[in-house]
Structure 1
């Protein structure tokens, strides 16, 4: 909790510090940390969640961008010699560098709303070294992650997250649990990387391009939305109704289209799409 004269939340970092003891306890119960877990927290802030995890796992590592918070954390947790702070931007941080003895990471965090979606995609690109992730996110973002075909919130974020992970929304958190209180509701989500991808694409970047292209024109039919990549006849040959809209297709359908595009070499001249799926909006 921020005290008078203490650290003030910074808008440019999207900081909203969690302070509700009941919510913190519920989050920790959901995470269920163990002493031997390879725990990593993103954006510990003033250490409200950090304190509870350290009590169970004294080897916790944290990634914090705000340099003014570093001395606050060092002072607060000086009696934990194995506690490590990485002063870095989580969007560019190599989380695989934290893996020791091949033990996968358990990543947690109250993520800033302004970077939550690109950060999720950054972490998904490193999902091979992750055991699970528990995040506090804007409620709308969690809804999009978990949405299925035909639902209003279904789009790029959900498809690409579900490509890599099982998505499990846990519970919602009101604005009053934070200081300052955000103007939106929040939710906790658990992401568990698939041991083996249920719908493995031949080329991940091609899948990104197909999904992005489709949802850039989500209100149009597939024959129009994907017209620059595949023809109506080619979609029909894959058993896909070209008169449907992108929101009606499953992950498996998008992988089938992406594999066809990859096999035909239709994206050889397309720009690198590695970072194209970072926007929350699917329009």
Structure 2
């Protein structure tokens, strides 16, 4: 079934005259008649009685008329919506962020792109790196920032943005707050605050707790929740250096800098980039992220 066939039928049903219907549709009468006949063939029955000057809808024609009217109206609405979308010049960009990768990292690139991409707007979502890769492949997001990841699919392009160390965050009243650095023995005795979905959890386990699991006091899927707990003296957070933090927290380096991770930008290989995605990839790859990451972590 083609839309022009539906339009021809509706014109005949409205005027009950093939000549006027053809004029209304701006086609020849033979073309209109042929279109209606093809529609009848597809629906498996006659829609219109043609008896010389008498033109009437058949029972089947009357039955399908309201449904075909809705079909044409829906198609018209879709076309109108698409035209409005193009006129607005909307440039959406959906970015996925792995846990513990702060949205603060993309704020300046977003602001820069908004200056020269009309209609630019961003939607951010958070998820485990493996989930974000699935969303990329499914077209649900356009790009993703992730930490350490194993077994990158061949269809995914990845660009290293920067490498960062992990540091300890503690409240001002914590017993470790005045240490110049925190060692392995200190962490083994401390109560840790756990970030759900942490991408370097295995590295932390291997580096600081190779034999026995750490003493985890509290857990949350949100960094800010953990920071408020740490500020209240409830434990120690092992966090990426770039993460913005509460001004009441103290940042203490870990002895030996045993734990670090790489932060990468991901996009689907070979897929045509929208103007927004193309701009974001270019800005991200040209940016000095090492300076950016340090500034975010040290001044926020």
The alignment's TM-score, normalised by the length of structure 2, stands at 0.25
Larger helix proportion, structure 1 or 2?
A: 2
Determine which structure has the larger strand proportion and give its number: 2
> Which structure is larger by alpha-carbon Rg, 1 or 2?
2
